[in-house]
Structure 1
């Protein structure tokens, strides 16, 4: 199991247990857990609806690619800890990740 701690836009924290080996990104997983993420661009790193702040586990993530950085740069609330959940692939390596959702919700 992959364990991820998620703080939603209301400050409520939930610990997710995600089965290993599912071929989803974090945005798709959050939607499956019924978080109100619009995800207007469908995971293309264009809309920033799935903007999140990495609270713990930053070192576990691969570096952000150019399109993700361009999209985050357009957000006034982006910080050095910002990522797009659609660009975070579920893998054993991200076990223990802790995030706060910041993006636009439904």
Structure 2
């Protein structure tokens, strides 16, 4: 996963961050809101690492993330609904 995806899926990513690194509060994660530099800065404060170490740990964590399955299911569900709508549009009413 790249950082653009992290920003888009921040809610699910922030939950995973909280599971991995318990020192982050909900307020911290809301303040970060997908910003990499904010995350690195706050990581340095919470865990006492230098900037390079914090960046390495965060980048390794982000590289291991996978897109949530719910998004794929939601997309396929919406596509399914759209197909149904289009099929109803083809039906001509009986007079």
**Greater Rg over alpha carbons, structure:** 2
| TM-score over 0.5 (shorter chain) | no
Higher helix share goes to which structure? 2
TM-score of the aligned structures, taking structure 2 as reference length: 0.27
Higher strand share goes to which structure? 1
Q: Relative contact order (C-alpha < 8 Å, sep 6+): which is higher?
A: 1
